[in-house]
Amino acid sequence: MHHFKNDISIVFGGAAGQGVQTIAEALVRVLKRNGYYVFACTEFMSRIRGGSNSTEVRVTARKRRAYVSKIDFLVALNADAIDHLKDRISETTLVFAEKEHIEGKDIAGFIDTPIAEFAEKAGSRIFSSTVAVGVVLGLLGTPIDAFSVYLSEQFASKGEDIVSKNIAAAKLGYNFGKETAAEKQIEVKIDAAEDPPDELLIDGNTAVGIGTVAAGCSFISSYPMSPGTGLLTFLAHKADDFNIVVDQAEDEIAAINAALGASYAGARSIVSTSGGGFALMEEGISLAGVTEVPVVVHLGQRPGPATGLPTRTEQADLNLVLYAGHGEFSRVILAPGTFAQAIELMQRAFHFAEKYQTTVFVLTDQFFLDSIASMSESDIVRLPLKRYIVRTDEKYSRYSLTDDGLSPRGVPGHGDGIVKVDSHEHDESGHLTENFDLRRKMMEKRLKRLEALGEEALMPERFGAAEAKNVIVSWGSNRGVLEEALDNLQRKDLAGLHFSQLFPLNVAVKKQLEGKNIIVLENNATGQFADLLTRELAIPVSKRILKVTGEPFSVEEVVEALQEV
**CATH code, 484:** 3.40.50.920
Would you say residue 521 lies in a domain?
Answer: yes
In a shared domain, residues 50 and 165: yes
- For 267-305, write each residue's pLDDT tens digit: 999 999 999 999 999 999 999 999 999 999 999 999 999
Q: Based on the domain organization, do 293 and 405 belong to the same domain?
A: no
> What are the pLDDT digits (tens) for 421-459?
999 999 999 999 999 999 999 999 999 999 999 999 999
Are 114 and 216 found together in one domain?
Answer: no
CA torsion angle 467 473 475 481 (round to 10): -80
**535 and 476 together in one domain:** yes
% of the chain with per-residue pLDDT over 70: 98
User: Residue 105, Cβ neighbours under 10 Å: how many?
Assistant: 14
* Pairs from 539-543 (Cβ < 8 Å, separation ≥ 24): 539/509, 539/510, 539/513, 541/473, 542/517, 542/518, 543/519
Q: What pLDDT, on the 0 to 100 scale, is given for residue 195?
A: 62
Tell me, yes or no, whether 384 lies in a domain. no
- Confidence at 52, pLDDT banded by 50, 70, 90: confident
Please say whether the dihedral angle defined by the alpha carbons of residues 99, 102, 105 and 110, taken in this order, is positive or negative: negative
Same-domain check for residues 430 and 289:
no
Q: Which of 333, 356, 379 is the last residue of a domain?
A: 379
Give the model's pLDDT for residue 106. Answer: 84
**Peptide bond before 504: cis, by omega within 30 degrees of 0?**
yes
Tell me which residue range forms the domain holding 431.
389-456
Are 225 and 330 found together in one domain? Answer: yes
Specify if 508 maps to a domain: yes
Do 489 and 347 sit in the same domain of this protein?
Answer: no
Q: Indicate if the pLDDT at residue 548 is higher than 80.
A: yes
Distance CA 40, CA 42 (A): 7
Strands 94-97 and 110-112: what pairing?
A: parallel
Q: How far is the C-alpha of 365 from the C-alpha of 314, rounded, in Å?
A: 7
Cα distance between residue 339 and residue 240, in whole Å: 24
**Sheet-wide strand order for 517-522:** 461-464, 494-499, 470-475, 517-522, 543-546
Residue 469 dihedral angles phi and psi, to the nearest 5°: -85, -25
Residues 6+ apart with CB under 8 A from 2: 92, 94, 184, 185, 186, 187
- Asked which of 192, 212, 240 is the last residue of a domain, the reply is 192
556 and 432 housed in the same domain:
no
Q: Measuring CA to CA, which residue among 139, 163, 162, 136 is closest to residue 150? A: 163
Split at pLDDT 50, 70, 90, the class of 365 is very high
Residue partners of 89: CB distance under 8 A and separation at least 6: 71, 74, 82, 95, 107, 109
Question: What pLDDT sits at residue 191?
Answer: 82
Q: Are residues 465 and 448 in the same domain?
A: no
Per-residue pLDDT at 328: 96
Name the 3-class secondary structure at 158.
Answer: helix
At residue 257, φ and ψ (nearest 5 deg) are -70, -35
473 and 558 in a single domain? The answer is yes
pLDDT at 380: 95
- What pLDDT, in 10s, does the model give residues 96-150? 999 988 888 888 999 999 999 999 999 999 999 999 999 999 999 999 999 999 9
- The reported pLDDT for the residue numbered 44 is 85
pLDDT at site 196: 61
Do residue 375 and residue 400 come from a single domain?
A: no
Please tell me the least confidently modeled range out of 44-58, 158-172, 307-321: 44-58
Total number of domains in the chain: 4
Ramachandran bin of 35, using left for φ above 0, alpha for ψ from -120 to 50, beta for the remaining angles? left
pLDDT in the model for residue 193: 65
Q: Are 38 and 28 in contact (CB under 8 A)?
A: yes
The C-alpha atoms of residue 535 and residue 517 are separated, in whole angstroms, by: 17
Domain-ending residue, one of 171, 192, 213: 192
- Using left for φ > 0, alpha for ψ between -120 and 50, and beta otherwise, residue 159 falls in left
- Which pLDDT band, with edges at 50, 70 and 90, does 22 fall under? confident
- Using the predicted structure, report yes or no on whether residue 210 has a pLDDT greater than 70: yes
Residue 464's pLDDT band, with cuts at 50, 70 and 90, is: confident
What is the pLDDT confidence band of residue 50, given thresholds at 50, 70 and 90?
low
- CA separation for the pair 498, 336 (Å, rounded): 9
| Cα diameter, the chain | 86
Read off the pLDDT of each residue in 165-177 and give the average, rounded to a whole number: 96
